[in-house]
Structure 1
Amino acid sequence: MSTTAGPHHAPGPQYLVAGRYRLKSRIGGGGMGTVWLARDQLLDRDVAVKQVVSTEGLTEDSADNVRQRAMREGRIAAKLSHRNAIAMHDVALDRGEPWLVMEYLPSRSVAQILHATKTLAPAEAAQIGAQVADAMVEAHAAGIVHRDIKPGNILIAEGGRHTGLVKITDFGISRAKDDVTLTQTGVITGTPAYFAPEVARGADPQEASDVYSLGATIYTMVEGQPPFGVDDNSIALLHKVARARINPMQNAAELEPVLLRLLEPSPTKRPTMSQARDLLTSFAAGSRGSRDQVLTGLITRPGAGTPVWSQRTNRSSTTGPHRPAGATLPPYAPTMSADRGSRDLPRTRQGMSPTIMSTPQPHSSTPRPLTAQHHPSDSRQPSYGPPAQPSGTSSTALAVSIFVFFAVLAVVVVLAIALLR
């Protein structure tokens, strides 16, 4: 007998979505709603299903808009068939509520990885960026602008033969270039820390904006925080982005010229996504082999042979910019929903300031880059390195204990022999 959800009861484990997808556990929140690990009863395989924000309590027009957005995300993602992009399997309607059915990938987001490692090596970051760019080249060719490339939306597979595989996910706010039905003039969507300057000033995101966001994401991988730093004041951060003066790089080394090209303030002077992929590939190939090895190889540390993320001590599974339910991560610069202060934003046209907006995230906050502060949850984070070795004092105590044990055993044996005689 299947578990059902009433009109005022949120679906839970064992609930059967659209008569086919059995929910197993909640694995986090994506750009538009909750994501569950589920079992496809028809094809007998695990899938990730995204429960789009409920339409309960909304007006009919608003509810229809939510459904259209879900269908739009499904259509956009279904256009892509690339090894470095999460595949969309189905869009299901359950009791009038839309669910997106996606490829299930046991993985960690780059944002989660950075929480543990703080930074990545330039060659490693360049290879991740090159593979994301390769997927986005195909997206742009299909007329799709992602609009929210950031560490939380890049996944690295863990476990099994796919460990180290890179995939871009969460096209929840992406838009096909010819899709204008859900566009609102003067509205900015996305994550400000990774905005292109022209988007912060209110321009409509284009392919060049995705290139800048990718550059900002790679910058964050090697420097430990976004190009404009971290600021809890979203409006102040937006001003910094609009001025396009990035913080000087400290760790990028030879990768810096490539990042500066991707982070070119003028969108007309930026490389295309194809050119960005080639720049990143050439850089990574210097230490990681040929172009094909960079674009198709699993992410590993040079000379180590083992993907850096396979050394985790506990497991989570993600298929979006989310984390296991209950996990604690320091947020990255937030995805925003704010009208206050909009009068102070950089103006893009006479009498209009952009409104900053995000898709709802009921169960998780968008990760932001780390600061030097330590969070209470740090001690609970999984380790990426080898197990800690016993201290010298512990090793000595162990050796003494073993010696005493065998000495006592020898005395017992000698006494036993004496008694038998």
Structure 2
Amino acid sequence: MTQVFAGRYQLVDLLGRGGMGDVWRVWDLRDGVYRAAKLQRQADSASLLRFVRESSTSVEHPHVVAPTGWSAEDGTVLFAMPIIAGGSVAQVVADHGPLPDAWVQEVGRQLFVALQAVHDAGLVHRDVKPANLLLEATGTASPVLRLSDFGIAAVVDEPRLTRAWEVVHTPGYAAPEVFTDADPSPLQDLYAAGVVLAEMLTAARPRPDGIVPVPPGPLGPVVQRLVEPDPARRFASAREAGAALSAVVVAPATGEPVEVFSHLPEWPEGWGPGGPGTATPPTAARVAVRADEPTRRRPVTPRQPLPGPPVETPPAPQRRSERRGVPVGAWLLAVAGVGLVVAAVVTGVR
């Protein structure tokens, strides 16, 4: 029996670890559905306050991941949200490299729709980056984006959780005015969105010097205006930016299609699509997965793999003769020579 948190959320398996906590797949005993649950594992009050703020940030929108509830038990806080199975834009860029203009345009359009909903709610996200842009597992069909992670979101005109000189944005995606103690503004989210668009088009991470190279192509002018150092020269709103992006005429994508497949691990023992005790027999599972299933989980060879730890390869076992540094042929000749000497000695004795 797996652990049950706060009498409601049964922990199934670990999906990932982040700076603000661990993310688990849980079974909601009350609602009878699977959810993703983030558990706060840091003890300092500032991180816990941000965690609670994220759990209370509820923007109901198709392109925003809204928390469904939260609980606390023995000094640990958990908040639940829908499971988004397709990974993140960061993983798609790592798998496919530079993405087609048409794909980037659609993802960007949905991002600006989500940001407009966030800004209309009086919030500034402050952490727009590829890792926080989650995707539904749609296979090679049109992507469906969900903006997530409101852990450092700020409410406009409310006191900040950081000191004046402290920067909480992710380096490379922060607008220049963030470093001059500017108050949180929706225009800072637009700058970060421009960096994200450039990264999707080029597969290049943001430069440490803060300069954003504008990629060539039809989407370049939109990116250029989004990453203007002067906030007054950017688009006035996410809605305006989305309209400008959608108005660009781009060529249909050609070549290998971009695939967004499920990144969820296999069901642990005793679990299945219907909850605990509904595991599908292996034979039936193979029959259920069709060859044309668009959201099936299958391996993809990353084009930009992350470097892993060096693996020490144990030396191959050597034959006894090789360990002594004597070739096998030499041993055979030596044995034959000894045989001839023995034969000669025996003959002489007779």
Q: TM-score, normalised by structure 2?
A: 0.70
What are the superposed Cα offsets for residues 2-33 of structure 1, whole Å, 9 maximum, x if unpaired? 6xxxxxxxxxxx22111100111111124511
Q: Deviations for 1:282-329, whole angstroms, at most 9, x for unmatched residues?
A: 226x557xxxxxxxxxxxx5799xx7324x5xx4239xxxxxxxxxxx
Cα deviation for residue 195 of structure 1 reads 1.3
Alignment partner of 1:262 is 2:226: yes
Residue 280 of structure 1 is matched in structure 2 by 245
| AA of the residue aligned to 1:260 | Q
**How far apart are 1:277 and its partner, in Å?**
1.0
Name the residue aligned to 2:52. Answer: 71
Kindly indicate whether the alpha-carbon contact (under 8 Å) linking 2:20 and 2:41 is maintained by their aligned counterparts in 1.
Answer: yes
One-letter amino acid of the structure 1 residue matched with residue 238 of structure 2: M
Partner Cα separation in structure 2 for residue 262 and residue 128 of structure 1: 16
Distance (Å, rounded) in 2 between the aligned partners of 1:165 and 1:198: 31
- 2:89 is matched with which residue? 110
Q: CA deviation at 1:111?
A: 0.7
Distance 1:220 1:123, change over 3 A: same
- Determine whether 1:317 maps to 2:281: no
1:39 counterpart = 2:20:
no
Aligned AA for 1:42?
R
CA deviation vs aligned residue, 1:366-395 (integer Å, no higher than 9, x gap):
xxxx99887359xxxxxxxxxxxxxxxxxx
Which residue is 2:278 aligned to? none
In 1, Cα distance between the equivalents of 2:135 and 2:303?
A: 22
CA distance, structure 2, for counterparts of residue 70 and residue 121 of structure 1: 36
Per the alignment, in what secondary structure is the counterpart of residue 231 of structure 2? coil
State the shift of 1:181 in Å: 5.5
The one-letter code matched in structure 2 to 1:247 is: P
Shift of 1:166: 0.9
Please give the per-residue CA displacement for 1:12-69, whole angstroms capped at 9, x wherever unaligned.
xx221111001111111245111111110111101010011243xxxxxx44x44432
- Residues 1-16 of structure 1: matches in 2 within 5 Å? 14-16=2-4
Q: Aligned pair in 2 of structure 1 residues 41, 161: CA closer, same or farther (>3 Å)?
A: farther
Determine the structure 2 residue equivalent to 1:247.
213
Native 8 Å contact 1:35 1:48 kept in 2: yes
Which runs of structure 2 are paired with 1:218-233 in the superposition (5 Å)? 218-226=197-205, 228-229=206-207
Q: Alpha-carbon deviation of 1:248? A: 4.9
- The share of aligned pairs that are identical, in percent, is 29
Larger radius of gyration: 2
Query: What amino acid does structure 1 have at the position aligned with 2:213?
Result: N
1:373 and 1:17 mapped to 2: Cα distance? 36
- TM-aligned CA deviation for residue 162 of structure 1: 9.1
- Is residue 2:200 matched to residue 1:213? no
Judged with a 3 Å threshold, the aligned counterparts in structure 2 of structure 1 residues 48 and 202 are, in CA distance, closer, same or farther, namely same
Which residue number in structure 2 is paired with residue 96 of structure 1?
75
> Which whole-Å CA distance do the structure 2 matches of 1:213 and 1:181 have between them?
20
- Count matched residues: 272
Partner of 2:307: 375
Aligned partner of 2:258: which letter?
Answer: V
Shift of the 248–81 alpha-carbon distance from structure 1 to 2, 3 Å rule, reads: closer
Distance apart, 1:160 and its partner CA: 8.3
> Aligned-pair distance for 1:151?
0.7
Deviation for aligned residue 1:178? 3.3
> CA shift at 1:224, angstroms?
1.4
- Higher helix fraction (1 or 2): 1
Change (3 A) 1:161 1:47: farther
Letter in 2 for 1:70: F
Structure 1 Cα separation of the partners of residues 213 and 140 of structure 2? 39
Q: How does 1:354-373 map to 2 (within 5 A)?
A: none
Residue 86 (structure 1) aligns with: 65
Q: Is the 8 A contact 1:30 1:170 kept in 2?
A: no
What is the CA RMSD across the aligned residues, in angstroms? 2.8
Residue 308 (structure 1) aligns with: 258
Contact 1:31 1:170 in 2 (8 A): no
Q: Which amino acid aligns with 1:308?
A: V
Structure 2 residue runs of 5 or longer lacking an equivalent are 266-301, 310-350
- 2:121 aligns to what? 142
> Residue 33 and residue 265 in structure 1: after superposition, are their counterparts in 2 closer, same or farther (change >3 A)?
same
| SS of residue matched to 2:219 | helix
After TM superposition, the score normalised by the length of structure 1 is 0.59
| Change over 3 Å in CA distance of 1:123–1:35 after alignment to 2 | same
Of 38, 41, 45, the match for 1:50: 38
Residues 121 and 303 (structure 1 numbering): CA distance in 2 closer, same or farther, change over 3 Å? closer
Task: Specify the alignment match of 2:347 in structure 1.
Answer: none
Quick one: distance in 1 between partners of 2:232 and 2:74? 47
Tell me the amino acid that sits aligned with residue 234 of structure 2: R
Residues in 1 aligned to 2:8 and 2:173: alpha-carbon distance in whole angstroms: 38
